[in-house]
Structure 1
Amino acid sequence: MMVERQPMQSLDVIADPVRLAIARHLAAHGAASLPELADAAGVHVNTARPHVTAMEEAGLLVGERRPAEGPGRPAVDYRLAQGWTLSATDFLGLAELLATALVRSAPDPAALRGLGREWGGYLVGRPGAKDVTDQLPRVLERLGFQAVVGDEVVLFACPCPLVAPDRPKMVCELAAGVVEGALAAAGSDLRVGTHDHHPEQRRCTVELQRPTGRRPKGKRR
């Protein structure tokens, strides 16, 4: 599932299970009140309210007041803003389903890293000496990440909370494995050191180290 014709930063607004549920409900039903959206997301109205406000301020939703039917403030119906249609041809929904199946299989973290390493090597292509500052962003972009490479790999706009809202760090672990595999396939002596995952910010960092444990020379971020 993906919103069409919107800049990447707009996806940050729905990188949350509650907001995804709200967007899906509106895509399926056209319009809904705040209580209806809260019910669809399985949360209290007071929990849903700030999410709806944030989505409205970001331009994802538009609110329309219902005709007054008596005393008091008229209820508001919310709709997806024009252009925010959910693509039926995008594969993010399938990726989410596969991630759910993977979570239920309770994979070993080491197995996840191993799978990531294999995929990273595959995406680099024929093994050989290659510039990792060129290769890593290209490889990670194929998986939906935006990456900046220095003495660490900084991942922005991570798809983790979109693909696996309940276990986003599982996707982050796969990404760390992909970095390891890409480095090996590119003939680099760099290794993955510590890595910090911040799914709520859609941002992760993966430290790069020489075999001695020293960071590569370069500008620190």
Structure 2
Amino acid sequence: MAAGYSAISSYSRVEIMHLVQQRPRRPIAELVDATGLHPNTVREHLQRLIDAGYVIAETERRITRGRPRVLYTAATGEPAASSPVAVRKARDAARRGDLLRTVYPTDAGETLSADALHQLDALVEDLGTAGFDPLVDEGALTVDLTPCPHGAAAEHRGTLCGVHVGLMDGVLAQAGGPLRVDGIAPSCDPSHCVVHLAVQD
């Protein structure tokens, strides 16, 4: 799928994602102030991120009078920040991955647990939807995203890379298993991107 149809293809959505990754439970007013966008535009962007499984919304519990606010948090897989959309997508990806491994057996099952393989299934599908063409090395636990479709955005590279790493880690966590993002390999070429994964206890 082309990056243009991705939930994070808009830099405004990347910026909003960055804000909710930095601090959870953000109300609309904070996101409007930080981005300078119209409240309705922020709501539309948040809905796209919720539909993609990247953000969750909760209604504020209030003890005072007044309408409770809706608070937005990045979906990280933690008990209080789990997205049903992301969990469903991970489950569906695992089912498709198992079917593919039945038809085209590999030796990945000898080195990685079923949970880890299912995490990679979810990650590859999510990255593909975001416009990447990931190449996974199960032995080295790397995900090569070269050429990065966002490599040309030099002025936003730090934010983009940080948001993508956070999203990848969230996908892995919500798929359930031992793998987490360990970091991105440094490179002089902005279009070159290799993400390292690690097995956590």
User: Which structure's CA Rg is the greater one?
Assistant: 1
Per the TM superposition, whether the score is higher than 0.5 is: no
